[in-house]
Amino acid sequence: LATIDSGIETIGVALGAEAEATTLRTEIKSTLDQIRAAVEPFERPKVFIVMSRERGDLSNLQTVGGGSFISELVTIAGGDNIYEEEKSPYLEASKETLLIREPDVILEIHAGSTFTENQTVALLSDWRFLDSLPAWKGKRIYFFTDSLMMRPGPRVPEIAKQIARKLHFDAQLPE
């Protein structure tokens, strides 16, 4: 997120629009702070973030470590990435590690994809092989298809709100 902030500043300077860039940076920070505050009273679930996987298969699970903007947004939205300690932004996760770390919530990001209801059911059904996971038992596996999810830029507060709505549906999030 710091890179996004500095990028907005750099673009503002290059375009001679420093005041507009400062306003945008302030708005982004303020909205992210409001999201943090809205979810602060809630218990923080352990979250597994799926960035990529094959349909019908859980053997090639790609996730994110603490070095990714998505992981930062999950933290802001009131969750704890179970791979936060990994500094590599992207890595492969194992089913065995999932069983050990027991995520409460699984967020699958399929940015820009469109699924039929049957395809979504099939994606969800793949997780039945790890039916001891709290996320499976609690029916807290969510799919995000909005292309915005993989665009680190000025709309990161929108991504954080989408995540927060899944993690803490009772939270009073900013508009």
- What are the tokens at 129? 């092989």
Give residue 149's pLDDT: 86
Tens of pLDDT along 37-69? 999 999 999 999 999 888 888 888 999 999 899
Helix (H) or strand (E) holding 6, with range, is helix 2-14
Cα gap 49→67, rounded to integer Å = 13
Which regions of 105-144 does DSSP assign to beta strands (E)? 105-109, 141-144
The model carries a pTM of 0.93
pLDDT of residue 112: 84
Residue with tokens 């947004």: 73
